[in-house]
Amino acid sequence: MPKKYETGLMWFRRDLRVHDNAALYHALKSCKQLYCVFVFDRRILDTLPRVDRRVEFIRESVLSLDGQLQKLGATTGSPGAGLLTAHDDAVNAVVRLAAELCADAVFTNHDDEPQLLSRDAAVQAALEAGGKAFHSFKDHVIFERQEVLTLAGKPYTVFTPYKNAWLKKVDDFYLRPYPVEKYGATLAPAPQGMRSIPSLDELGFEASNLSALKIPTGSEGGAQLFEDFTGRMAQYKETRDFPAVKGPSYLGVHLRFGTVSIRHMASVALSAADHPSEGAATWLSELIWRDFYAQILSNFPHAAERAFKPDYDAIEWESGEKAKALFQAWCDGRTGYPLVDAAMAQINQTGYMHNRLRMVTASFLVKDLGIDWRWGEHYFAEKLNDFDLSANNGGWQWAASTGCDAQPYFRIFNPVSQSEKFDAEGKFIRKYVPELAQLPDKALHSPWLAKPLELAAAGVVLGQNYPLPIVQHDEARALTLQRYAVVKKA
């Protein structure tokens, strides 16, 4: 079959792998020769703190991607293939490179975040004004946008019926990998002047503790983590809620930046779930949640800034200096509730937070402290290695009961009972709140109720080396019910 384009440009973004990459497959099939580029987008990078694990993860994964392209080119008769890079505003860089390389078309994978859709629209308009084509493909999820609809032809807004429809629709067609490797000979030798990958320093960033945390990067790192998880997947349902146990997949950052294929992940989980395996079925549900939140953001973009349920925008959150002080105590892990504080220490030190604890800390901020959920959402957006707008927003609105959730607003997590249930022996708390490490298990979850001798023996002085609770949960719960009363009939 004749190729449609003489020269193409593949623009990598949140899909940092060669294997099973939708846009790369279509680009290789459609072009006689193909260049590949990754843009370190100044419009995004310039808004970040100068030490950011995600930038380091991306850069390491870009290095891996370059090696994958070189290897594919070398094994398919295209020596000299590799990744071009630019450190610039992405719109300017892509349009400029397309012109310099005489590319007839640019290929990329969808990114449905509202701001990035605007960026892509600007790229497409500029390219088309110059007589060049712009093609974008689904790669980040199994089902996107309006692929899964109700019988009335509308997007789902509650998870369980969405999940049922998702499972009914999914088949081998949607999970089939794209055979990229068959078409590697299309890769063009990369112009040497465009090949160098900038250092962290050249990007304006300093090294983080990414390597000390031993977070594996690139496709190789993603494959390593997934191989490890497949051996534990059957136990996922029993282990996933306990932060001191190796239960999660830890693949969030790899799914976020596309160093693993969602089709491969879902295919393995679906196959294992059919055996049956409750663990695999439970993990598959987590992948479906990811699709669900992506399509919510796509179909209801107002949720990125406001409550999904508009009536909940009437809630009056705490404000002024009191709110700022409460929020800062939460950020710093100085609330006086050990599980909350340990979770905040985890995210601050590692950029990761266990999923159960994301719910606990979010519920505490919104429903114990009365703080606007958007404050917490923004904090997680800055700190999480695996930050994804749709999932982060969906999770926070779930915790705040402002989102697409069938549960009532009076679901309020008790931070003490959550601690006693999911970290009964205090292993997680002791790791991240070492000042409480010598307390006996029973006293660890609510140290303000500990006996004076227990506190003295453990070297804990409440109000000095560990804070007293900044709120009383029962009182806070009553205030929350009052606060939410304005929407109780919503």
Q: What SS3 class is residue 108? A: strand
Q: Nearest-CA neighbor of 244 among 419, 466, 415?
A: 419
Is residue 10 within a helix (H) or strand (E), and if so which, with residue range?
A: strand 5-12
Residues 430-487: pLDDT tens digits? 999 999 999 999 999 999 999 999 999 999 999 999 999 999 999 999 999 999 988 8
**To 10 degrees, what angle do helices 355-363 and 415-422 make?**
160
- DSSP states of 152-180: TS-B--SHHHHHHHHHHH--HHHHPPP-G
Q: In the predicted model, what is the mean pLDDT of residues 253-268?
A: 98
Q: In the predicted model, what is the mean pLDDT of residues 312-325?
A: 96
In this prediction, residue 480 carries a pLDDT of 94
In this prediction, residue 143 carries a pLDDT of 98
User: What spatial distance separates the first Cα and last Cα of the chain, rounded to whole Å?
Assistant: 57
Domain boundaries 140-176+218-299, CATH class: mainly alpha
**Any alpha helices (H) in 48-113, and if so which ranges?**
53-75, 90-100
Kindly indicate the confidence band of residue 409, based on its pLDDT and cuts at 50, 70 and 90: low
In this prediction, residue 391 carries a pLDDT of 97
* CA within 13 Å, CB half, 155: 17
Q: In the predicted model, what is the mean pLDDT of residues 348-375?
A: 98
The percent of residues above 70 in pLDDT, for the chain, comes to 99
What lies within 8 Å, CB to CB, of 248 at 6+ separation is 236, 240, 354, 355
Is residue 458 within a helix (H) or strand (E), and if so which, with residue range?
A: helix 452-458
Distance CA 399, CA 439 (A): 30
Q: Nearest-CA neighbor of 480 among 374, 373, 369?
A: 369
Q: Does domain 1-139 have CATH number 1.25.40.10?
A: no
What lies within 8 Å, CB to CB, of 310 at 6+ separation is none
Q: Environment class of residue 235 by beta-carbon count within 10 Å: exposed (0-12), middle (13-18) or buried (19+)? A: middle
SS3 content of the chain, % helix, strand, coil (to 5): 55, 10, 35
Q: At residue 466, what is the residue type?
A: Y
**3 state SS for 292-357:** HHHHHHHHCHHHHCCCCCHHHHHCCCCCHHHHHHHHHHHHHCCCCCHHHHHHHHHHHHHCCCCHHH
Q: Is the pLDDT of residue 267 over 90?
A: yes
Beta pairing, strands 31-41 & 83-88: parallel
Q: Dmax of the chain from CA atoms?
A: 83
Token output for 150: 């109700």
Supply the mean pLDDT for the chain.
96
Residues 103-138: pLDDT tens digits? 999 999 999 999 999 999 999 999 999 999 999 999
Q: Nearest-CA neighbor of 358 among 385, 332, 396, 324?
A: 396
Q: In the predicted model, what is the mean pLDDT of residues 322-348?
A: 98
Token output for 260: 């693993």
Beta pairing, strands 83-88 & 105-109: unpaired
Distance CA 128, CA 299 (A): 26
In this prediction, residue 404 carries a pLDDT of 86
Beta pairing, strands 5-12 & 105-109: parallel
Token output for 21: 């990459």
Q: What SS3 class is residue 62? A: helix
Q: Nearest-CA neighbor of 202 among 48, 333, 40, 434?
A: 40
Order of strands across the sheet that contains 5-12: 83-88, 31-41, 5-12, 105-109, 133-137
**To 10 degrees, what angle do helices 355-363 and 338-350 make?**
120
In this prediction, residue 190 carries a pLDDT of 87
**How far are the Cα atoms of 59, 159, 414 from residue 488, in angstroms, in the given order?**
47, 21, 21
Q: Is the pLDDT of residue 265 over 60?
A: yes
Distance CA 39, CA 13 (A): 8
Q: At residue 403, what is the residue type?
A: G
Indicate which residues carry an active-site annotation.
Answer: 286, 289, 317, 355, 373, 396
CATH of domain 310-485: 1.10.579.10
Whether 143 and 268 have beta carbons less than 8 Å apart is answered as no
Token output for 119: 């960026």
Q: Using CA atoms of 453, 458, 460, 465 in order, give the dihedral in degrees to the nearest 10.
A: 170
Q: Is the pLDDT of residue 379 over 50?
A: yes
In this prediction, residue 490 carries a pLDDT of 47
The percent of residues above 90 in pLDDT, for the chain, comes to 94
Kindly indicate the confidence band of residue 276, based on its pLDDT and cuts at 50, 70 and 90: confident
Residues 18-77: pLDDT tens digits? 999 999 999 999 999 999 999 999 999 999 999 999 999 999 999 999 999 999 999 999
Q: In the predicted model, what is the mean pLDDT of residues 372-380?
A: 98
Token output for 82: 């590799």
Token output for 271: 């196959």
Beta bridge partners of 462: 466
Domain boundaries, the chain: 1-139, 140-176+218-299, 310-485
Geometric angle at alpha carbon 266, from 378 and 299, rounded to 5°: 45
